[in-house]
Amino acid sequence: MTLTAKDVAEITRLLEASDFDELTLELDGLKLAVRRKGAAGPAALESTLAATPAAQPQAPENASSGEAPSTQSITAPLLGTFYRAPKPGAPPFVEVGSSVEEDTIVGIIEVMKLMNTVRAATRGRVVAVLAQDGALVEYGETLMRVSRAAEA
C-alpha cells in the first residue's frame, strides 16, 4: 500500500481537527509521524524507503504573530519541498509586486514525487516571499504575504 499526497493532506487535516497531538502510522516499511506544533518534538515525515535529511522546524507565521490587518498570508497546504517556478531555470510563478487572484498559482509543493500546486486563495499584491525555492516547508508555514490594501 502507498500513501498519496492527498492521503497525507487528509491525515494532517484529521489530526488538526482532533484532540490528539501526535500520530504515527506504519504501512509496509513506510513510517509517517505527524505532530502538532505545540507537541513535544519536531514535526517529521520519516520513511525507511527514502530517508531525507532532517530540516530545522520553523514556526508558522500567522495573524497572531503580528501580521498587519491589511495583509494575508499564503500558507503551505502540505508538508513538502516548495518550488517557486514550474521547472528549474524557469521564471518564478510570482515575484514581490505581482498581482494575484484567488486562483493564481504561486508555487508548487512536492510530496512523495507528486507535484501539488499552491494557489493564492486571496486577491492583492505580493509584498513578501518568505519560503526559499527548494526549501522543505511544513503544513501551515507562511510562504508569502499578500497586501489586500494594494488591490487594484
End-to-end CA distance of the chain: 48
Q: Measure the CA–CA gap between 29 and 24, rounded to whole angstroms.
A: 13
Instruction: Tell me what pLDDT residue 20 has.
Output: 73
Torsions phi, psi for 67 (to 5 deg) = -65, 135
SS3 102: coil
Instruction: Tell me what pLDDT residue 37 has.
Output: 60
Q: Domain spanning 63-147 has what CATH number?
A: 2.40.50.100
Q: What are the 10-residue block averages of pLDDT along the chain, 152 residues in total?
A: 73 75 72 64 34 35 53 92 93 94 94 90 94 93 87 48
pTM, entire model: 0.55
Q: Measure the CA–CA gap between 140 and 59, rounded to whole angstroms.
A: 9
Q: Where are the domains of the chain?
A: 5-47, 63-147
What are the residues facing 111 on neighbouring strands? 114
